[in-house]
Copies of this chain bind each other. A is one copy, B any other.
């Protein structure tokens, strides 16, 4: 038995009558009722991975997971991202099912203290911290393979549950329990800040709009060899990256707030793994859906993945998955001496300066 919030439908599901998905898929089950799910992205932003700040960040990150600490994240990862300006971003990503443990960790963990102790006026690097926190009714997940736990699914007290709410446009929305009672509409327009906010040498918060949608969409091909490895790296990955380039280039019309391709790293050696994830923030769930439903780049990815799944079945060694969260208005995105293209800064309806 797993626990999922469940509402009698006031709004119709998108599932077509009689739909049977062509591919088996799994979703996250929670073993017990849970009030808030938290993903916490905390990063250093600098010239390259040899910067002194990276060593400091890593030391603090590694010291933030003492054995037996009940407040430490239940799952954590290190990821890197080279952004459009060429800046190197090293990201600590933690997941919690207990929001109070998360709040305490933010007060006590060396990594959080490092972040809060930075002086934006004198720091020789940037840093950012984005907290995504929602009740389970505002979260949905999908995995193409149940044999490995990705993202939030790496927390204790979770499991992979087979499902059939997949394989049609609108399935992601249908998987969000709150979509039964709420159309998840934004309240205002998607509008780029002009001029860009002066973010260097400052500690800023960006407040997102009502019903901002956040996706972490993952690709894992560590076990792939031969034909499947070549197919992923030479065919599917370029299609995926073309889609991401489109979402970034057309951000003003596509409703993209931020899009980062993250490379998963070995936590000890920092060696890049054959694992990536796209962290995307969108003006609304509908913006994300419109791309998925209408744009050629998504169709190419989708068709290719379906074909390969059919061909290889359980021998498929490329796994795709995602987790989506729909946020209420929140000012939980903080940027210290970052460039103005970082995270939600370019599109945030409200930007605030943290007072000392």
Docked CA distance A308–B40 (Å): 52
Interchain Cβ contacts under 8 Å between A and B, 11 examples: A10-B32, A34-B181, A35-B181, A99-B328, A100-B182, A100-B184, A100-B211, A104-B187, A106-B187, A352-B352, A353-B355
A66 part of interface (Cβ distance < 8 Å): no
> What 20 additional pairs, Cβ within 8 angstroms, besides A33-B180, A197-B355?
A8-B33, A33-B181, A34-B181, A35-B181, A36-B328, A100-B184, A100-B185, A103-B187, A103-B329, A104-B187, A107-B187, A107-B188, A205-B331, A205-B352, A329-B332, A331-B352, A350-B354, A351-B354, A351-B355, A352-B355
A158 part of interface (Cβ distance < 8 Å): no
Among candidates B99, B107, B210, residue contacting A99 with C-beta atoms closer than 8 Å: B210
A7 to chain B, nearest CB (A): 4
A193 to chain B, nearest CB (A): 10
A206 to chain B, nearest CB (A): 10
**Which residues on the B side are within 8 Å of A104 (C-beta)?**
187
A137 part of interface (Cβ distance < 8 Å): yes
The reply to whether B10 and A207 contact each other, CB–CB distance below 8 Å, is no
**Which residues on the B side are within 8 Å of A353 (C-beta)?**
352-353, 355
Docked CA distance A340–B64 (Å): 36
The reply to whether B352 and A103 contact each other, CB–CB distance below 8 Å, is no
Docked CA distance A353–B354 (Å): 6
A133 part of interface (Cβ distance < 8 Å): yes
The reply to whether B187 and A100 contact each other, CB–CB distance below 8 Å, is yes
Contact with B along A107-143 (1 / 0, CB 8 A): 1000000000000000000000000010101000000
> Which A residues fall within an 8 A CB radius of B?
7-8, 10, 32-36, 99-100, 103-104, 106-107, 133, 135, 137, 178, 180-185, 187-188, 197, 204-205, 207, 209-211, 328-332, 350-355
Question: Top 5 closest A-B pairs, CB basis?
Answer: A103-B187, A103-B210, A352-B352, A331-B331, A7-B33
Instruction: Identify the closest chain B residue to A133 (Cβ).
Output: B328
Interface of A: prevailing SS: loop
**Which residues on the B side are within 8 Å of A205 (C-beta)?**
331, 352
**Which residues on the B side are within 8 Å of A34 (C-beta)?**
181
Instruction: Identify the closest chain B residue to A8 (Cβ).
Output: B33
**Which residues on the B side are within 8 Å of A36 (C-beta)?**
328
Docked CA distance A100–B209 (Å): 11
Docked CA distance A188–B183 (Å): 36
A328 to chain B, nearest CB (A): 6
Which residue among A178, A181, A331 has the maximum number of chain B CB atoms within 10 Å of its CB? A331
A262 to chain B, nearest CB (A): 25
Instruction: Identify the closest chain B residue to A101 (Cβ).
Output: B187
Docked CA distance A47–B104 (Å): 41
The reply to whether B7 and A100 contact each other, CB–CB distance below 8 Å, is no
**Which residues on the B side are within 8 Å of A32 (C-beta)?**
10, 181
Instruction: Identify the closest chain B residue to A187 (Cβ).
Output: B103
**Which residues on the B side are within 8 Å of A350 (C-beta)?**
354-355
**Which residues on the B side are within 8 Å of A103 (C-beta)?**
187-188, 209-211, 329
